[in-house]
Structure 1
């Protein structure tokens, strides 16, 4: 009988938890940031999100595929240091995993070819092919493909091979109808939900909470230091105004128990997205968010286009730099954050949420099975995957071939 090697676990159990607490996200980022400062890390993250956006738009992926890829990128670097991996390789691997999660499959070669045209636009313009593909050495292409597949395995381990993914975009529409807000506000909230995937918000809150947080932020941005729009031109008759929605969501109420959402979480989501806008307003080169652009979903361009039309399409899809500037100034965003902090300080303490109701027949929203105060967030190991304070351990057993690892997800 062969004795097991001392010090190497025979088997390890990894239990997938879909969400992290804000403190856990902060702690994990500090461990994987390396020598980068917080501002430098934010710039790298925004450039990566812009790159994913550009490649996804060039191929014609739907919004759900692009957004999930950005979320996978954020999750990957909570466990793996940035200095150990190329940002482009991680972005493309995340995009490849996202195509499997949403059944928008593309071969790694197709994703890599599209990425070359985004990374090297001057070479793409010199290409003589209709699709403006960059001529790449087959050996270099195979080397990039192998790296993509190696990182794909690590990304799958960070999600415990759980291919379930729910997006906030349908909830934005449903909640907008439930609260009877205008189509203009709902459309703006949809854009903000797109921008939320440039932050860690989708890793900390379930999609219906993100959706309502974006509706709340849209109401704030449309009313703070803004003249009231003409009712006849902007809002439908009898629709809830932004100020009315802010008042309702700020003070809480029955909607918290009905949707299992804490009003304080809406404030936190709003602060995260406002911080993103402030950072981009100060450094426009990092890539403008979708709040300043059309909320349309990228679509696949026709296969056969004249050279002039194809060149114009490539200019729009290959480089994700909207022609319109961000409509919010950094000083205005800071004043909004100060006003929000003052309102939070004046708010009296509220009782905790009541027991979750069995369903939401009015909006079709499903109950949130992960809402629990004593739930271990993130990816943890029931034996050795969590730190002494209950926080998930960094890179515990991920990417290793030692022993047997069982990945579990679903109800405990």
Structure 2
């Protein structure tokens, strides 16, 4: 792999071999342990996990990420993740990239920062590389040149910027994306197949009766989009994220879904744990509560949504969670 070090230069102008934080041996010179079940775990990971397992607990993500170990607060890390994913989405919308590709890129970015620190890997650089890689693996590839042009225009907040390919700025972005694309593949162990909540949301929609729920499904789809700005994809399965978005959309529209084949609560048809659904919905609703106050500098984004989107759902979730913990019988079923 020596050609990598000679061919690509880091944006600062240094050769990759002199890049102080570039350490390929950190991944490969640590022997893997073989478990009793035949799976393996690597020693030099931020989290001691089984390979290809990208689900973590809240405690791990809140206290044990490389960025937090390097001095970032949890709020600072979440803010950087949010902004990076918003950058990905902005580029994707401009280039008419499918939402599933954008979601894949956001997932790559979140997984990357489970093992690498924001201190050494700037979020916007990883965001651009994640989108470029995601466009390849989802068969929606865009030319690197086009991605670079949009990245520069977004970074400089000038949609009409005339960008010359021979400029230093263009070459800097090119080398950045090519370098981090390979780094990204290494860090995520080439685990490029991502299962998204969108498919499960559409499958859930097919199970309901003939009533037109299209407006609820569209709103749930938007909630799923915003969930990728958070670390929910690292905590919950795609099914649970889809169900939480759908449940929150129902509460916002003051509607109840009715299954075609059963009178049970609709999420039970999909074998979704109520307590897990409860926590996921609380976390999803909290996303909007943190960005409602427009003039609050601590907000994670600049979006402005009416408090009615999140407040009713969160109040319902909190009261239900308290009742379920006291009675040890969690239930999301609306009271008569």
Task: Give the TM-score of the pair, scaled to structure 1.
Answer: 0.60
User: Does residue 1:57 correspond to 2:93, yes or no?
Assistant: yes
Task: Report the CA distance shift for 1:33/1:114 in structure 2 as closer, same or farther (over 3 A).
Answer: farther
Equivalent in 112, 116, 128 of residue 76 of structure 1: 112
Find the counterpart in structure 2 of residue 212 from structure 1: 243
Distance 1:121 1:343, change over 3 A: closer
Q: How many residues align?
A: 278
Q: What is the match of residue 391 of structure 1?
A: none
- Do structure 1's residue 41 and structure 2's residue 48 form an aligned pair? no
For the pair 1:125 / 2:136, whether they are aligned, the reply is no
Equivalent position to 2:200, from 171, 175, 191: 171
Mean CA deviation greater in 185-194 or 105-114: 105-114
Structure 1 residue 147 and structure 2 residue 176: aligned? yes
Contact map agreement 2:208 2:258 (CA 8 A) in 1: no
Shift of 1:176: 2.0
1:243-281: CA deviation from partner (whole Å, max 9, x where unpaired): 879xx99xx86954x533211111121112112111111
* Aligned-residue RMSD, C-alpha: 3.1
Segments of structure 1 that go 5 or more residues without pairing to the other structure are: 1-7, 128-133, 224-240, 290-324, 352-412
TM-superposed CA distance for 1:52, in Å, is: 0.8
1:349 lines up with 2:291 in the alignment? no
Query: In the alignment, what sits opposite 1:272?
Result: 283
Match of 2:317 in 1: 340
Higher relative contact order (CA 8 A, sep 6+): 1
- What's the counterpart of residue 16 of structure 1? 52
Is contact 1:190–1:214 with CA below 8 Å preserved after alignment? yes
- Structure 2: tracts of 5 or more residues without a match: 1-27, 33-39, 43-50, 331-336
* Paired residues of 1:199 and 1:272 also in contact (CA < 8 A): no
1 CA distance for matches of 2:192 and 2:142?
Answer: 16
In structure 2, the residue matched to 1:101 is: 137
- Paired with 1:126 and 1:255, the residues of 2 have a C-alpha distance of 48
Name the CA shift for 1:269/1:158 in 2 (closer, same or farther; >3 Å): farther
Q: When the two structures are superposed, what TM-score results if normalisation uses the length of structure 2?
A: 0.72
Aligned-partner SS, 1:78: coil
Rounded to whole Å, the distance in 1 between the matches of 2:175 and 2:76 is 28
- Structure 2 CA distance for partners of 1:42 and 1:349, relative to 1, 3 Å: same
C-alpha separation in 1, matches of 2:90 and 2:101: 12
* Segment of structure 1 superposing worse, 191-200 or 105-114: 105-114
CA contact (8 A) 1:32 1:78 kept: no
Shift of 1:136: 5.2
Q: Secondary structure at the match of 1:84?
A: coil
Relative to structure 1, is the Cα distance of residues 93 and 274 closer, same or farther in structure 2, using a 3 angstrom cutoff? same
- Counterpart check, 1:242 vs 2:256: yes
Q: Measure the CA separation in 2 of the matches of 1:91 and 1:38.
A: 19
Q: What secondary structure does 1:175 align onto?
A: helix
The alpha carbon displacement at 1:333 in A equals 4.1
- Compare CA radii of gyration and give the structure with the larger one: 1
